[in-house]
Amino acid sequence: MTEQKYNDVAALKEQPNVPCPPAKDLHPLMKEPLVRMTKRGVVTTKHKAVVYVVGFFLALLVGALMLLAVGKNPLIAYRDMAVGSFGTAIASAETVRIAVPLLIASVAVGFAFKMKFWNIGAEGQILAGAVACSYIVIHSINNGNYIPKLPLHLIMVIFAMIGGAWFGFIPAFFKTQWGTNETLYTLMLNYIAIQYIVYLQSLRTWQDPRSSYPKIVDFSTFTEGKVELPRLFGVHVGWIFALIIAIIAYFYLTKTKHGFEISVVGDSMNTARYAGMNTRWIQIRTLLISGALCGFVGYLQVAGANHTLTETAAGGVGFTAITVAWLAKLNPFVMIPISIFIAMLQKGSLFIQSTMRIPASVADLLTGLILFFMLGCEFFIEYKLIFRRKRNVSRLEQKEVTV
């Protein structure tokens, strides 16, 4: 009896040891779960591209369904968005003007994210930069507008970058010193920056003397246009800086010792310590850079776009930049087209707001949908779903549904 059972196993083993799929499939009585996921092995670039393209179109499709639900023709809406953002030279210039701060801010948060330092305070850092450079302008105005144009801009840039860097330094210092949570910290600093501007609006030296409403003076009028950035191809020259920053950032992250340190700290803090890196300084240094870039955005908003300081100077750029950085997988080069695309959505939605009376928040909706689907793509790149198969069908005919 014993031997016989023992031999059973031996007999089973005698069957040719074929790799799966094996000689026998799942027993008919064995109920498979309805859906289960398994890891894919090798992922080809082609497969990745297909998943992303499908994900992108699915996002547009869901967006279209939502437009249909409110009774608008989605095809016309999408066409108008394209026309409204790139149909004319003026529209294109406006789109690029939206993309410029977005691109720089994305690069800035990308630096911190690469280190797994969740800096969601770009908004506040932008405002800090805007406040700092506005201070120079206000100072100049109140003292007889004495600073000439070029030095004015140089000082403004320096002040803006110091202002932004300061707002990057504070959370980094507290995190490295006492382990505070940088996400909450940077988020809260945003509100401090906003409320500080609200305070400045009613400050006698900053307020517009011609307005009883709390509002900061128009820099353009009071400096006789000195504060305005020159234009190139219809957009203020900030776009050139943005491109240069993206390119430098790419090389900084991939080719320099600093960039290498950022990668290692982001990957494993202990490994960085093991390699003798000064992890505290690396984090602070990177946040100084990240904050300074955001501060530079603040300068561009003041000198290039608004010519004054308002609490909406950042206008959500700091948050949208997080989306752009993720969609670009933290690659500064990829951030260029993505920030232009997001700007296109925003500009296009303003256009259809007037032509089709669709609220401009459709841009946020679409951005959210695209982000949602792109993040979903990650899952389908790494895993595949296997649905329960039908019984009594030869294995070759069975479908393995893969998305």
Partner 1 sequence: MQDAKPAINENVVQMQHICKSFGTVQALSDVHFELRRGEILSLLGENGSGKTTLMNILAGIYFPDAGDIFVNGKHVTIRQPKDAFDLNIGMVHQHFKLVEVFSAAENIVLGLPGKTTINRRALYKHVQEIADQYGFEIDPEKKVYDMSVSEKQTVEIIKALYRGADILILDEPTAVLTPQETDKLFEIMRAMKADQKSIILITHKLNEVLAVSDRVTVLRKGEYIDTVYTKDATIQSLTDMMVGHSVSLAIDRPTTTNVEPILMVQSLTALNQEGAKALDDVTFEANGGEILGIAGISGSGQRELCEAIAGLCPVIGGSILYRNIVDGYEVDENVIGLNPYKIAKKGIALAFVPEDRLGMGLAPSLDMVDNIMLKHYRENKGFFVDRKTPRQIAERLVEELQIVTPDVFTPIRQLSGGNVQKILVGREIDTSPRLLMVAYPVRGLDINSSYTIYNLLNEQKEKGTAVIFVGEDLDVLMEISDRILVMSGGRVTGIVDPRVTSKQEIGLLMLGQSIVM
Report the interface residues with partner 1, using CB under 8 A.
1-2, 5-6, 8-10, 12-13, 15, 17-27, 29-33, 36, 38-42, 255-260, 263-264, 267-268, 270-278
Considering the complex, what minimum distance in angstroms separates the CB of residue 45 from partner 1?
A: 14
240 or 244: whose CB is closer to partner 1?
Answer: 244
Considering the complex, what minimum distance in angstroms separates the CB of residue 254 from partner 1?
A: 9
Q: Are strands 383-387 and 35-39 parallel, antiparallel or unpaired?
A: antiparallel
SS3 37: strand
Considering the complex, what minimum distance in angstroms separates the CB of residue 361 from partner 1?
A: 37
- Tell me the C-alpha distance between 290 and 284, whole Å: 10
197 or 325: whose CB is closer to partner 1?
Answer: 325
Considering the complex, what minimum distance in angstroms separates the CB of residue 389 from partner 1?
A: 11
Considering the complex, what minimum distance in angstroms separates the CB of residue 8 from partner 1?
A: 8
182 or 261: whose CB is closer to partner 1?
Answer: 261
CA distances from 381 to 55, 317, 367, 384 (A): 11, 29, 21, 8
- 16 DSSP assignment: -
The CB-side HSE value for 131 (13 A sphere, CA atoms) comes to 24
Which residue shows structure tokens 């700091």? 318
Return the structure tokens found at 154. 């140089």
142 or 268: whose CB is closer to partner 1?
Answer: 268
Considering the complex, what minimum distance in angstroms separates the CB of residue 6 from partner 1?
A: 7
CA distances from 69 to 34, 72, 326, 353, 355 (A): 32, 7, 30, 16, 18
100 or 265: whose CB is closer to partner 1?
Answer: 265
21 or 144: whose CB is closer to partner 1?
Answer: 21
Residues 342 and 321 sit within 8 Å (Cβ to Cβ): no
- 76 DSSP assignment: H
